[in-house]
Amino acid sequence: MSNDSLTAEAALQKILDITPLMQEYEDLDLVQAMGRILFEDVKAGMDSPPFRNSAMDGFAFRHCDLSGGRALRLNGKSLAGHPSTGLRQDGDCIRITTGAMVPEWADTVVMQENTNLLGDQLHVTQVPAKGDNIREAGTNMRHGELLVPAGDRLGASQLAVLGSAGLTRVRVLRKLRVVIFSTGDELVDPGSSLKAGQIYDSNRLLLTGLLMSPSIEVLDLGICADDKQSLSKVMQEAMDADIAISSGGVSVGDADFVKEVLDQNGKLSMWKILMKPGRPLSAGVLNSGTRFFGLPGNPVSGIVTFKLFVIPAIRKMLGMEQIPLLTMQARCNDALSKDPGRQEYQRGILSQSEEGEWTVSTTGLQDSHVLTSMSEANCFINLPLASAGVAAGETVQVIPFSSFNHQF
C-alpha cells in the first residue's frame, strides 16, 4: 500500500472539504423551475385549505339534529367554488359536493350513498360520527409551515405544493457551470477516420450524459493534446466554470501532464485512491476557484469515480443533502477474484427470484476498458479492502445503479 494512497471514504471527505456551497441564485416562474435546486426555504403564507370543506359528495348538517331518528329538511346547497348563502333552521341540511365549503353551522357530512331523499326530506340510513367527512382548514398546510426546504430538487410534487400556496415564482440556485474535456493524442471524435493507434473518445459523451440536468450547464472543450502547452490553454479556458472535469492523463506515464499542469494553475489535493477501477484521480482547485476533477481515461474507471466523488461534490455545491448510497445484500452466483488491499466495484447484474431472493451475477471481464459491461450491468458488487475474493453462493453487498438516479 502506498503511503500517499487514500481510501475511497477518505478521498471523498477531502473532496467535500474543499467544495464550497454556491450562493448565486435567480428567480423563475414555477414551470421554468422544474428540476432546479431551491435556494432558500419556502414557508406557507396561508392555511390550506383556507376553509373547512367536504371530503365527498353528500349532505352537510348538524349532528345533533339527527336525534330520535328524525329526517332532515333539504334547504340549499354548497358547490365547489359556490358556497351556501342560505339561512339555516333547526333540522336543516344542504347538499354539498367534494371540496365545497362547509357552512359554519354544520359539523358533519354524510355521504350520498348512505341517504334516501324523498322530496325535501333526507333520511340518513347510516349515521356517521360527528365531524366525519369534513376537512378542516389548514390540514394540507399551516401558515408559517415549511413547505420545501432549501437544497431540494424541484419536481412536479414540489411545484404543485408551491402553487397550492399561491406562489407563482421561486428562488433557485443558478445553473452550475461545468466544463469537460478529454486528454490524449490517441483520441479522435466519433465520425472521424481512425489512424493507426487511434481510438474514438467516448468519455465526453459519457460525462455529458452523466451531467445532464436542468441544474447544470455543460460546456465541451473537446480533446486536448498530450502536451503541456495545450493542457495549460484548456485549463485557462476552464477558469470561468464552477467545475472542470477532464478524463485521462492523471496517471504517472511520460505523457501524463494533468498533475503537473494543475500544480502550475492551482492546487492539487490528491490523486491516488485504494480502489479499483479508478485508482488514479486528481482533485483540486484552479487559481480562479474552479473545482477540478481529473478522472481516469478508462471509461469504466471514469464512471465509477464520477459516481463516487463528483456527484457528492456537485450535490454539496448545489446545497443538496448528501444521501448515503443504497446498498443491499445478495447471493453471488459466481466466484469473484480479487486481491486484498483495494476496494473493488465490480459490475454485476442484480435480479430477484420468484421466491423473492436477490441474487447477483458478474458481467464477466472486469477490466476498466470494457465499457460494454456497463450497459449490461445494473449494479456494482462492492468488495471491501480486505476481501480476497468471493466464492459462488456467498453473500455480497451490491449498490444498485438506481442509487445514482436523479442525483441533481
The C-alpha cell of 369 is what?
A: 476498458
**Residues near 129 by beta carbon (within 8 Å), at least 6 away in sequence:** 108
The C-alpha cell of 61 is what?
A: 348538517
Closest CA to 36 of 165, 170, 147: 170
CA distance 43 to 402: 31
**Residues near 205 by beta carbon (within 8 Å), at least 6 away in sequence:** 190
pLDDT-wise least confident of 126-135, 150-159, 304-313, 369-378:
369-378
pLDDT-wise least confident of 124-128, 296-300, 328-332:
296-300
Q: Give me the half-sphere count of Cα atoms (radius 13 Å) on the Cβ side of residue 276.
A: 14
Model confidence at 257, pLDDT cuts 50, 70, 90, reads low
In CATH, the number for domain 8-24+175-317 is 3.40.980.10
CA distance 54 to 134: 5
CA distance 92 to 276: 77
Note the pLDDT of residue 1. 43
Query: Mean pLDDT throughout 218-247?
Result: 92
Give this prediction's pTM. Answer: 0.84
Domain ranges of the chain: 8-24+175-317, 26-46+142-173, 53-135, 328-402
Closest CA to 294 of 233, 228, 247: 247
pLDDT at 200 over 80: yes
Q: How far is CA 352 from CA 207, 357, 396, in A?
A: 31, 5, 15
Q: Which CATH architecture has domain 328-402?
A: Beta Barrel (2.40)
Mean pLDDT of all residues belonging to the chain? 91
The DSSP bridge pattern shows strands 395-400 and 328-332 to be antiparallel
pLDDT tens digit sequence for 141-162: 999 999 999 999 999 999 999 9
Task: Pick one of 2.60.40.790, 3.40.50.620, 3.90.1150.10, 2.170.190.11 as the CATH number of 53-135.
Answer: 2.170.190.11
Q: Which CATH architecture has domain 26-46+142-173?
A: Alpha-Beta Complex (3.90)
